[in-house]
Amino acid sequence: MTAADIPDDASIGRTRTGTVRLRPGSRAPGVLLIVALLLLWELSSRAGWIVSAYWPPVSHILAAAVAQLAGGEILVSLAATLRRAAIGYVAASVAGIALGIVLARNRALRCGLLPLIEIVRPMPTPAIIPPLILFLGVDDALKIFIVALASFFPIFTTTFVGVASIDDTLIQTARTFRISSTRMLYGVVLPATLPAIAAGLRTATSLCLVVAVLSEMIAGSSGVGYYLVEMQYAMRPDLMYAAVFYLALTGYALNRGFLALEARLIPWMGKT
Amino acid sequence: MSHRSEARGMGLWSLASPALVLCVWELAGRLGWTNPILLPRPLQIIEVFLGLVSSGAVLSPLLHTVGLFMIGYVIASLLGTALGIAMATSQTLYGLLEPLVESLRPIPKPALVPVLFLFLGIGKATMIVLVVLASVFPVLISTFQGVRGLDPVLLETARTLQISRSRTIFSVILPASLPMILAGMRVALGLGLVLVILAEMLAGEDGIGFRILDHERSFQVREMFAWIVVLVALGGAMMKLFEIAERRLVPWRGRS
């Protein structure tokens, strides 16, 4: 899909030129703005400025969120979604990194496979789901496959570009020392490409959750995506908003967790 | 992206493997290796596709999808660029808006489809809002990074020459950060299209997304594949147009 290139990982706080550091407290106006907006929401609903059954006050949504958490229903849905996202993500990582390295280093395979990858890549994910339903059914196999397919592209692309742009001197030096091809891979190519691979993995981290939810909406029987559509039909906006909130929280936590892990495992990231 | 130019550099060779796959697919279909109910042959799909095009049946859903998408995309591009520049140039606006942007951004946008359907009802306005929500953040963030990454000498020169703030924005900042703005818009193009197709699928009224899912549910597999061809052609055409426009607007891109 085209979303492959999403720099979704690039949050505002991390610019290309370095991290923008703000004076502590400079976020205060922004936080106040959010609080003000939430208050306005609450008021508009309670005072009846917006008369709609689908505009519940924030306090109702909070109550729904607490009830959801206490009842465990949201946790069950989130767990189902995360499981699919995780399996698809792992499969995509293995395939994306392996193919990225192989295609970057082997001309014949590149000529054969790259055009095929380039054809499938721009397909919008929702469009791939209906034909796949015919082959894979509407169960886990479908959703995991779609997550894997969507996550594959950013991982493959960054790995491929990363390997292709390794400094040639590095490779030549390694050749001069006549190291084996296995050692070349693990000792030279992989460490040099790791930051690029990590960038792709990070994009895929947020993507896999989105795509899992999306596939559950179109062909679901469980998971947050299905839950959302179900609540839409049940006309329970409070539960729906609360579920979106948990989903956003999960997405945020995944991204944060990835960044923390990356800083620990690849300390030279972003210092090249 | 370097591997794209590489694919182009391979010239006709890049057509070889897709052509081979199509031939094998066609042959497998003719030899009865594939289930014709689930997987029609490429020639059958093309036949239905050409029928759609020549009868003009393709027009109404295509215009529906393109119309909704374009309105949302243009709004998102303008809004994203404006907000990105505002947040990058004004510390006050940055402090005011950054927490809001950063808390809305991680929401998986597809999750908002049922939310907005319920709140705004199923209609054109909802679809446009969804496209805007999906497309605005990549443009905003890319613009922001572009402006923040500008050479400070550029801005200081403008200040030395005592150029007014608005002229600095329109004659210095905007042109200089155009490559990054366009990079964000390119990402937004794909995201917006995904959202409009998904919304059409879930709304079930009209548009390419609706056609694809509707034909799948009624097991008209050839028609379904033909509509997917329509969608892929649309996506490809828009990407191509964007690249042409980009090369026109930023001819120095990729040469620096």
Answer whether residue A261 shows pLDDT above 70.
Answer: yes
Q: Could you give the angle at the alpha carbon of B171 between the alpha carbons of B169 and B177, nearest 5°?
A: 70
Tell me, yes or no, whether B51 lies in a domain. no
Which chain A residues are within 8 Å of B107, Cβ to Cβ?
Answer: 244, 247-248, 251
- The confidence score (pLDDT) of residue A169 equals 86
C-beta atoms of A16 and B95 within 8 A: no
78-97 in A: which are within 8 Å (CB) of B? Answer: none
Tell me, yes or no, whether B31 lies in a domain. no
Encode pLDDT of A57-90 as tens digits.
888 889 989 988 888 889 999 999 999 999 999 9
C-beta atoms of B148 and A15 within 8 A: yes
Residue A154 CA to residue A142 CA, distance in Å, equals 20
Tell me, yes or no, whether B205 lies in a domain. yes
Encode pLDDT of B110-162 as tens digits.
888 888 888 888 888 899 999 999 999 999 999 999 998 888 888 888 888 88
Tell me, yes or no, whether B6 lies in a domain. no
Which chain A residues are within 8 Å of B142, Cβ to Cβ?
Answer: 7, 10
Residue A204 CA to residue A156 CA, distance in Å, equals 10
User: What residues contact residue A88 under an 8 Å CB cut-off, 6+ apart?
Assistant: A143, A144, A145, A146, A147, A148, A150, A151, A208, A211, A212
- The confidence score (pLDDT) of residue B253 equals 61
- The confidence score (pLDDT) of residue A16 equals 41
A116 in B contact zone (CB under 8 Å)? yes
Answer whether residue A272 shows pLDDT above 80.
Answer: no
Question: Domain containing B191 — which CATH number?
Answer: 1.10.3720.10
CATH number of A63-265: 1.10.3720.10
Number of H-type helices and E-type strands within chain B: 12, 0
Which chain B residues are within 8 Å of A154, Cβ to Cβ?
Answer: none
Q: How confident is the model at residue A4 (pLDDT cuts 50, 70, 90)?
A: very low
Return mean pLDDT, chain A: 84
Question: What 3-state DSSP class applies to A170?
Answer: helix
- The confidence score (pLDDT) of residue A10 equals 45
Give the CA count within 13 Å in the CB-facing half-sphere of B59: 4
A150 in B contact zone (CB under 8 Å)? no
Answer whether residue A1 shows pLDDT above 80.
Answer: no
To the nearest whole Å, the CA of B55 is away from the closest chain A CA by 23
C-beta atoms of A232 and B149 within 8 A: no
A52 in B contact zone (CB under 8 Å)? yes
C-beta atoms of A54 and B119 within 8 A: yes
B130 — phi, psi (to 5°)? -65, -45
- The confidence score (pLDDT) of residue A17 equals 41
176-235 in A: which are within 8 Å (CB) of B? Answer: 206, 209-210, 213-214, 217-218, 224-225, 228-229, 231-232, 235
- The parts of chain B modelled with pLDDT lower than 50 are 1-7, 255-256
Residue from the list B98, B198, B209 with its beta carbon closest to the beta carbon of A30:
B98
ipTM of the complex: 0.80
Residue from the list A217, A237, A244 with its beta carbon closest to the beta carbon of B202:
A217
Closest of A6, A192, A8 to residue A104, by C-alpha: A192
Residue from the list A7, A165, A240 with its beta carbon closest to the beta carbon of B2:
A165
C-beta atoms of A232 and B232 within 8 A: no
Average pLDDT, integer, range A133-145 = 89
Residue from the list A12, A52, A213 with its beta carbon closest to the beta carbon of B98:
A12
Residue from the list B38, B114, B189 with its beta carbon closest to the beta carbon of A229:
B114
CB A218 within 8 A of CB A126: yes
Residue from the list B118, B119, B148 with its beta carbon closest to the beta carbon of A17:
B148
Encode pLDDT of A81-127 as tens digits.
999 999 999 999 999 999 999 999 888 888 888 888 888 887 888 88
A155 in B contact zone (CB under 8 Å)? no
CB A122 within 8 A of CB A150: no
A135 in B contact zone (CB under 8 Å)? yes
For the residues of B73-123, what is the DSSP string, one character each?
HHHHHHHHHHHHHHHHH-HHHHHHHHHHHHHHTTS-GGGHHHHHHHHH-SS
C-beta atoms of A12 and B101 within 8 A: yes
C-beta atoms of B191 and A130 within 8 A: no
Closest of B133, B101, B198 to residue A34, by C-alpha: B101
C-beta atoms of A26 and B97 within 8 A: no
To the nearest whole Å, the CA of A110 is away from the closest chain B CA by 9
> How many CB atoms neighbour CB A169 within 10 A?
8
Encode pLDDT of A235-245 as tens digits.
888 899 899 99
C-beta atoms of A127 and B212 within 8 A: yes
Q: How many domains does chain B have?
A: 1
Residue span of the structural domain in which B218 resides: 60-249
C-beta atoms of B213 and A218 within 8 A: yes
- The confidence score (pLDDT) of residue A107 equals 85
Tell me, yes or no, whether B65 lies in a domain. yes
A110 in B contact zone (CB under 8 Å)? yes
Tell me, yes or no, whether B141 lies in a domain. yes
Tokens of B181: 């703005």
- The confidence score (pLDDT) of residue A81 equals 94
C-beta atoms of B17 and A112 within 8 A: yes
Closest of B116, B134, B240, B248 to residue B193, by C-alpha: B134
- The confidence score (pLDDT) of residue A220 equals 78
Give the CA count within 13 Å in the CB-facing half-sphere of A104: 23
C-beta atoms of B105 and A11 within 8 A: yes
Mutate to test the interface with A, among B3, B187, B218 (most CBs of A within 10 A): B3
To the nearest whole Å, the CA of A160 is away from the closest chain B CA by 8
